[in-house]
Amino acid sequence: MSVHDIGEGADDIISKIKLMAPTSHLRGYLICSRGIIWREVLRFLHQRERFFSALVRPLVWLFIFAAGFRNVLGVSIIPPYQTYVLYETYVTPGLVGMILLFNAMQSSLSMVYDRETGAMRTLLVSPFPRWFLLFSKLIGGVTVALLQVYVFLAIAYFWEIEPDGPPLALGLHMGEAFYGFVIPAPFNGYITVLPALVLAGLMLGAIALFMSSVIKQLENFAGVMNFVIFPMFFASSALYPLWRIKETSPILFEICKVNPFSHAVELIRFAFYGQIDTTSLIIVTGFTFAFLGAAVYAYNPSKGLIARRGGS
Amino acid sequence: MDATVETIQETKTNALEVDNVSHSFGTTQVLDNVSLCVPRGCFTVLLGPNGAGKSTLFALITRLYDNVSGEIRLLGMDVRRRPSLALSRLGVVFQSRTLDLDLSLAQNLAYHASLHGIPRAQAKTRAKFALSRVELEKRAHDKVRNLSGGQTRRVEIARSMMHEPNLLLLDEPTVGLDVAAREGVISLVRKLVRDKGLGVLWATHLIDEIEPTDNVVVLHKGKVLFSGTVPQLQEKTGETDLADAFRSMTGLSQLEME
């Protein structure tokens, strides 16, 4: 039997397959990405311990660490705050960032695990473009992180830690009259922080996604903790304002300033009060695109690192 | 859409053609000028010991990485030039278990359907049908974790058929199964070949999984030593027993293959 024994009308078939391929219409893309996000959420809901520990971690920081630090660390009035704030209030955006960070790293690790077990391959044999599959997976991870963040914020709200930015007015001004509704504090902050959470989550997810393509084998979570999560978390503005670090160590201050996690936290902090920190917005967006590009490159079948390494 | 499926069923185009494909990892050559062909409605056994290059070949066909040389065509479509179209006609059962253990059978199938852009209502009907085909429709809402090894494999086959592919790849699908479960899986796939005109490439190192009507491709150390029907294999080696035929070709006994 010859390998070249192709039947007649191959072109004809190809054009027919093209018509029925799921990638030929936008709806197919929506179905695909909805399915990937849905799976991430389902899997998360099934792992009760993960949900629990994801929640306990920032709460321990908030209730114990922050309470103890309240009197040690005074926070002066720095934007976006307009009055003296309690340390708990200062640290909350940092802890929200921590939830996003842990979640991103955990989903990156699960991707390394998926790659080892082959679950990653079931994703990558989908006919949709690889960048789209990876991006959908990222959005799925962010969705899971958002669930955690809002549960955390709800608990913090009952602890009376809440944003008090100017009321958010949604509607139209017609001369003197205003048509629409005004959302008072703290709920305005919970709404304005959403885009910042999504963007910060995407950036951390993209970093993690890139890491998942470079990490060769499933090392234990402690390694990632020691070498990625802790340095990123502590060398940032999450726990203390950067001007305080500058007083102690100018070098550390510079490190904190280039740490993308600092900017993720600042973006969230300002968004809580209905403000946009432009520098952070630019930096976080830039990092998101850079790492997303690197990850797509790494997962690309021809140029990718997977091919070079020969893993499966 | 169904009419289109039928048109594809009727044509003579081969399900899979692999043409002069070589592949190396660093300096190790894993595949050396491999050519093979899986006609539609044909059960083709890819026989080779562990480390022969079967998994690498599968990784290339499924586009985990690209073939640097040669050409791989699915229904006549080059997988590098038309990856989306080719992958939309391909079903795969990987060697490792790839279902989500904590999700139910139905949820696993729904996830797969969405990866192929199948709308929810249609996905539900197809999942029902796919599970009844593998005789697991009553377990639809059980977690995969509670299934036996053979049942898990059958779900994976049901899953790979959800988008009605024309080519099904199975990488050592019977490894770790007991005799009865193995029989169940093989006869299920053979039935799909008969009923749906599916082209199947079945990678294995077990000679007794071959039937007289199958096509056989012998892969050894990255090279195709033989490609043809069972009688042709017997004729070429002068052995009637397939194990003997295989030994005379590779110098390996069945035991050494594992």
Residue A243, in any domain of the structure: yes
Domain count, chain B: 1
Q: Which two tokens stand for residue A222?
A: 């402690």
- pLDDT value, residue B5: 52
| Confidence (pLDDT) at A6 | 46
Structural domain span for residue B10: 2-97+166-257
Q: Tens of pLDDT along A77-99?
A: 778 887 778 888 889 999 999 99
Cβ atoms within 10 Å, residue A57: 16
Domain contains B214:
yes
Range of the domain at A203: 35-309
Looking only at Cα atoms, what is the longest distance across chain A? 84
Residue A290 lies inside a defined structural domain of this protein: yes
* pLDDT at site B247: 85
User: Residue B97: its chain A contacts at CB < 8 A?
Assistant: 117-118
Whether A23 is covered by a domain: the verdict is no
Residue B38 bridge partners (DSSP): B16
Which range is least confidently modeled, A238-252, A278-292, B80-94, B204-218? A238-252
Provide the domain count of chain A: 1
Is A5 inside any structural domain?
no
Greater confidence (A263 vs B24) lies with A263
Choice between B66 and B36, residue whose per-residue pLDDT is larger: B36
Which candidate in B42, B54, B65, B94 is best for mutational testing of the A interface (most A CBs within 10 A)?
Answer: B65
Q: Is A26 contained in some domain? A: no
Q: For residues B146 and A216, which has the higher predicted lDDT (pLDDT)?
A: B146
Question: Would B200 be classed as within a structural domain?
Answer: yes
pLDDT category of residue B145 using cuts at 50, 70 and 90: very high
Q: Which of B85, B79, B107 is nearest to B19 (CA)?
A: B79
B77 touches chain A (CB under 8 A): yes
Taking residues B224-230, what's their average pLDDT?
A: 93
Instruction: Identify which of B126, B58, B48 has the alpha carbon closest to the alpha carbon of residue B92.
Output: B58
Assigned domain for A143 exists: yes
* Matching residue, tokens 């499924």: B62
A199 contacts A288 by C-beta, under 8 angstroms: yes
Measured in angstroms, the CA of A158 and the nearest CA of chain B are apart by 33
Instruction: Kindly state the tokens that stand for B172.
Output: 């050592």
Q: Which residues of A touch B119 (CB under 8 A)?
A: 27, 31
Helices (H), chain A: 10-20, 26-46, 48-60, 66-69, 87-117, 119-124, 130-158, 187-214, 221-224, 230-234, 242-248, 250-258, 260-272, 278-299, 305-309
CATH code of the domain in which B227 resides: 3.40.50.300
- pLDDT surpassing 80 at residue A267: yes
Question: What is the 8-class DSSP label of residue B221?
Answer: T
| Range A15-40 average pLDDT | 87
The pLDDT, as a whole number, for residue A87 is 86
Which band of pLDDT confidence, cut at 50, 70 and 90, is reported for residue A72?
Answer: low
The DSSP secondary structure of B61-127, one letter per residue, reads: HTTSS--SSSEEEETTEETTTSHHHHHHTEEEE-SS--S-TTSBHHHHHHHHHHHTT--HHHHHHHH
Q: Greatest CA span in chain B, whole angstroms? A: 55
pLDDT-based confidence at residue B183 (cuts at 50, 70, 90): very high
Residue A29 lies in a domain: no
Q: Given an 8 Å threshold on Cβ–Cβ distance, is A35 in contact with B14? A: no
Assigned domain for A263 exists: yes
Q: Is B194 part of any domain?
A: yes
pLDDT of residue A3: 41
Q: Which of residues 31-50 of A touch B (CB under 8 A)?
A: 31-32, 34-36, 38-39, 42-43, 46-47
Which residues numbered 73-132 in A keep a CB inside 8 Å of some CB on B?
117-119, 121-129
